[in-house]
């Protein structure tokens, strides 16, 4: 039993019209006999029997057919159930394909990139796909970080790979006696699969809830500090969802008496917080920042290196300090203010104001059209 298939139709056509049988159904044909024709846009093509046998048609005149499609079954004996015969033929063809695990091209690329061999995946299905490899990579990364040091708080770092924030936070975590970095969540997929100081960048925050559920992670901290609005809203959202945050305080930071620190803050090396200073939530304080006694910090502020405030300075929310700034005692700085590098603040700064450095610094409102002029 063999099938008689539609011939190759030429390069211009993917399809043809079947012109009907030249011999009656059920008649006996011989190999080489012209039994039908198919018509393309360019030509009429002959269909010849390839074997001797009784012709059992599968298509009728006018049908649209594609190359390789069975047109009829040729068999030594009459067939009762044509569909069953056809199924048997196709099963026979399939049986000739040896069984093996199919690895998709994407999975193969990822395996090569992460140095994984097929056996490690313990594949129990016939297809290894991207999802299987990605899951293995994440699992392995997390496992490797946890090995043997399970009593330390396991911290996930959010964002900041491109800007370097993640690196300085991880650098601090690596010197910590109570915490360890486990992974970095990064939206920008360019970084996926890479590492920061040996800590794997595993992908977006979608993986976070699963990791918390499986108790692979204890807390997170945000490492990016460019967009303070986004830093604030992300903190708010995740806290609302019950995601635990932690402070990352460098071992060499100096926090004096009666200093209180909220949650989700990053405080790097050589930071000095004078007695009685209160730090809110989600602030990012770079190395060598000096905040004297009694300073009051709100939330989601960012300090570049070398910001010096005198005593009793009040700082609102989402204030950005660039680098190398001096603030006189008792000054109040409003929400969303931006203080340029090299500024010396001698008077209060209203909310949403940009202070530029210079002898007669001009503070320009960013949120309103109001223009303020400041001596600094």
Partner 1 sequence: MNTESYLDSIRRGLRGAMESDERVYLIGEDLLDPYGGAFKVSKGLSTEFPKRVLTTPISESAITGLATGMAIRGLRPVVEIMFGDFLTLCTDQLVNSATKFPLMYRDKVRVPLVLRTPMGGGRGYGPTHSQSIEKMFLGVPGLTVVSPSLAHDPGTLLKRTILESERPVLWVEYKSLYPKQLLNGGDELRIWQVEGEDGYPLAVVENFSGSDPDVVVIAYGGASVPLFESMRRLIPEEIRVRGLLPSRLDTRTKTPWWFSEITGREPIIVAEHGTRGFTWGSEIAAELNLTFFGRLVAPVRRLADADNVVPAGRGLEREVLLNEEQLIKAIVESIT
Binding stretches for partner 1 (CB under 8 A): 11-14, 41, 104-107, 109, 112-113, 129-130, 188-190
Q: Which is nearer to partner 1, 104 or 239 (CB)?
A: 104
Q: Smallest gap, in angstroms, from Cβ of residue 73 to partner 1? A: 29
Q: Which is nearer to partner 1, 63 or 269 (CB)?
A: 63
Q: Smallest gap, in angstroms, from Cβ of residue 345 to partner 1? A: 35
Q: Smallest gap, in angstroms, from Cβ of residue 196 to partner 1? A: 18
Q: Which string of b and e fits 292-322 if b means at least 16 CB within 10 Å?
A: bbbbbbbbbbbbbbbbebbbbbbbbbbbbbb
Pairing state of beta strands 102-103 and 153-158?
Answer: unpaired
Q: Which is nearer to partner 1, 105 or 360 (CB)?
A: 105
Q: Smallest gap, in angstroms, from Cβ of residue 94 to partner 1? A: 17
- Nearest one of 297, 269, 281 to 244, comparing CA atoms: 281
Residue 144 and residue 198 in contact, taking contact as beta carbons nearer than 8 Å: no
Residue 20 and residue 60 in contact, taking contact as beta carbons nearer than 8 Å: yes
Considering just the CA atoms, what is the radius of gyration of the chain in Å? 36
Q: Which residues contact 293 (CB under 8 A, 6 or more apart)?
A: 256, 274, 275, 276, 277, 311, 312
Q: Smallest gap, in angstroms, from Cβ of residue 112 to partner 1? A: 7
Q: Which is nearer to partner 1, 161 or 349 (CB)?
A: 161
Q: Which is nearer to partner 1, 41 or 125 (CB)?
A: 41
| The Cα angle at residue 78 between residues 73 and 83, in degrees rounded to 5 | 50
Q: Which is nearer to partner 1, 204 or 314 (CB)?
A: 204
Residue 321 and residue 309 in contact, taking contact as beta carbons nearer than 8 Å: no
Q: Which is nearer to partner 1, 188 or 371 (CB)?
A: 188
H helix or E strand, kind and range, residue 221: strand 219-222
Q: Smallest gap, in angstroms, from Cβ of residue 105 to partner 1? A: 3
Length of the chain: 376
Q: Which residue is it, tokens 């061999």? A: 117
Q: Smallest gap, in angstroms, from Cβ of residue 113 to partner 1? A: 8
């Amino acid at each position: 039993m063999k099938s008689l298939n539609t011939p190759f139709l030429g390069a211009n056509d993917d399809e043809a019209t079947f012109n009907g049988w030249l011999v009656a159904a059920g008649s006996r044909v011989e190999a080489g006999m012209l039994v039908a024709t198919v018509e393309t846009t360019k030509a009429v093509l002959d269909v010849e029997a390839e074997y001797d046998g009784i012709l059992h048609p599968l298509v009728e005149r006018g049908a649209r057919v594609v190359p390789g499609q069975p047109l009829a079954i040729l068999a030594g004996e009459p067939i009762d159930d044509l569909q069953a015969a056809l199924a048997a033929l196709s099963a026979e063809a399939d049986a000739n394909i040896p069984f093996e695990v199919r690895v998709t091209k994407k999975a193969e690329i990822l395996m090569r990139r992460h140095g994984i061999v097929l056996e490690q995946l313990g594949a129990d299905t016939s297809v290894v796909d991207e999802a299987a490899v990605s899951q293995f990579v994440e699992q392995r990364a997390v496992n490797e970080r946890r090995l043997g040091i399970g009593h330390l708080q396991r911290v996930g770092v959010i964002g900041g790979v491109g800007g370097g924030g993640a690196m300085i936070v991880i650098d601090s975590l690596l010197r910590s006696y109570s915490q360890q970095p486990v992974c970095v969540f990064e939206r920008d997929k360019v970084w996926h699969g890479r590492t920061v100081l040996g800590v794997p960048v595993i992908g977006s925050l979608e993986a976070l809830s699963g990791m918390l559920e499986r108790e692979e992670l204890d807390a997170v901290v945000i490492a990016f500090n460019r967009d303070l609005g986004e830093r604030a809203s992300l903190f708010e959202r995740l806290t609302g969802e019950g995601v635990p945050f932690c402070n990352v305080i460098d071992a060499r930071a100096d926090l004096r008496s009666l200093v209180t620190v909220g949650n989700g803050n990053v405080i790097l090396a050589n930071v000095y917080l004078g007695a009685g200073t209160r730090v809110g939530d989600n602030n990012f304080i770079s190395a060598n920042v000096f905040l004297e006694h009694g300073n009051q910090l709100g939330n989601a502020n960012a300090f570049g290196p070398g910001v010096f405030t005198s005593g009793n300075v009040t700082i609102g929310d989402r204030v950005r300090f660039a680098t190398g700034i001096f603030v006189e005692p008792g000054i109040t700085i409003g929400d969303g203010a931006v203080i340029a590098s090299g500024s010396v603040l001698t008077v209060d700064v209203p909310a949403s104001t940009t202070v530029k450095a210079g002898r007669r610094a001009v503070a320009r409102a960013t949120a309103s059209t109001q223009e303020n002029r400041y001596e600094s």
